[in-house]
Amino acid sequence: ADTTFINIINKYAPDPKWEFPRSQLVIEQTLGEGEFGKVLRAKAQNIAGKAGLTTVAVKTLKDDARESELNDLLSEYQLLKEVSHPNVIRLLGVCTAPGGPVYLIIEYAEFGSLRNYLRRTRHLQQNSNLNMVQKEEYACHYDEPKVSDVTPKDLLSFAWQICNGMGYLSDMKLVHRDLAARNVLLSEEKVCKVSDFGLTRDVYEDNAYLKRSKGRVPVKWMAPESLADHIYTTKSDVWSFGILIWELVTLGATPYPGIAVQNLFHLLRQGYRMERPDNCSPGLYKIMRSCWHIDPEQRPSFLELSKWFAKLLEDKM
């Protein structure tokens, strides 16, 4: 299998603009592990035009990863090279030279995934009687910048930022296909970064993408047309964005609580939608419902959504 891996890597001529020496990278710890991939925290010496040490995140494969996972990692690299937006995670460099594992070096987001951030603030808000040890546990490796309480205005700002990142991706004719709070990262000063392009694919001419039958699918974030016909478009990303708003309002709850994924498609077809969460304004609920229109064409664009959130934010000033 090793020779095949080398062949795949060689298919991509090393890009001097991005190639970074492994010797200038010091791996510090594992931030998270998936089925085949893992994310590490590291310090990089003189990366992306910045002198000295920079804390970075490194995406790499686990030892038992298969060829297709390496392909996914490399196509994520190809996509990340092309994108540049404050609300989309930024590529800093890559290690593809022979003699070590493939590393994608991306900007480090201090607060980690938005989902875990929201859930941590929830614990701190609701269980203010937690003892110090428990609070320390929640803070774990994110204990440097303390998780402060998240305000309704913060949540609107997150939604607006994610819209802007997604609007940029859709302008680039990219469909994310796995937009969810777990795939948005939160960097310092509470800036949201859309990430995890593992599933991202170029949009075909007809603006739809037929998914290859592989891997696990995020059913509770998926539009009915994706579930039924594997159709992925910017409009199915908008559906997922509606679910993401629901995650924001519920501080990281899992959508459709109590509903089994096997039953979901039928319920959605019959017109069932999640009800308005307790602390959600009718205006915000109207926005999420508009994302869940059965007809993809009737759903708003990210540009429209962004304008609506800008207006809601203005009202909060």
Site residues (CB under 6 A) for ligand ACK?
Answer: 31-32, 39, 57, 106, 108-109, 112-113, 116, 185
Question: Which residue type occupies 166?
Answer: M
Distant-in-sequence, close-in-space partners of 185: CB < 8 Å, separation ≥ 6 = 89, 109, 111, 112, 113, 114, 192, 193, 195
At 78, list the tokens. Answer: 């190809």
| Distance separating alpha carbons of residues 122 and 288, to the nearest angstrom | 22
The minimum distance between CB 185 and ligand ACK, in angstroms, equals 5
Q: Which of 178, 196, 237, 278 is catalytic?
A: 178
How many helices and strands (H and E) does the chain possess? 10, 11
Nearer to ligand ACK, 106 or 156 (CB): 106
Instruction: Classify residue 190 as left (phi > 0), alpha (psi -120 to 50) or beta.
Output: left
Closest to ligand ACK by CB, 113 vs 121, is 113
Q: How far is the CB of 26 from ligand ACK (least distance, A)?
A: 16
Q: What are phi and psi of 94, to 5 degrees?
A: -150, 145
**DSSP 3-state percent helix, strand, coil across the chain (nearest 5):** 45, 20, 35
Min dist. Cβ of residue 109 to ligand ACK (A)? 4
For the question of residue 229 being annotated catalytic, the response is no
What is the full DSSP assignment across 230-244?
-EE-HHHHHHHHHHH
Among residues 106 and 264, whose Cβ is nearest to ligand ACK? 106
Q: Which amino acid is at 10?
A: N
| C-beta of 39 vs 179, nearer to ligand ACK | 39
Shortest spacing between CB 283 and ligand ACK, in angstroms: 29
The residue number with the shortest CB distance to ligand ACK is: 32
Question: In angstroms, what is the minimal distance from the CB of 210 to ligand ACK?
Answer: 27
Question: What residue spans of the chain are helical by DSSP H?
Answer: 2-11, 67-82, 114-126, 132-139, 152-171, 224-229, 234-249, 261-269, 282-291, 302-316
Residue 223 beta carbon to ligand ACK: minimum distance, rounded to whole angstroms: 24
Of 118 and 305, CB closest to ligand ACK: 118
Q: What DSSP letter does each residue of 44-66 carry, written as one string?
A: EEEETTEEEEEEEEEEEE-TT--
| CB-neighbour burial class of residue 275 (10 A; exposed 0-12, middle 13-18, buried 19+) | exposed
Closer CB to ligand ACK, residue 29 or residue 213?
A: 29
Q: Which amino acids are annotated catalytic?
A: 178
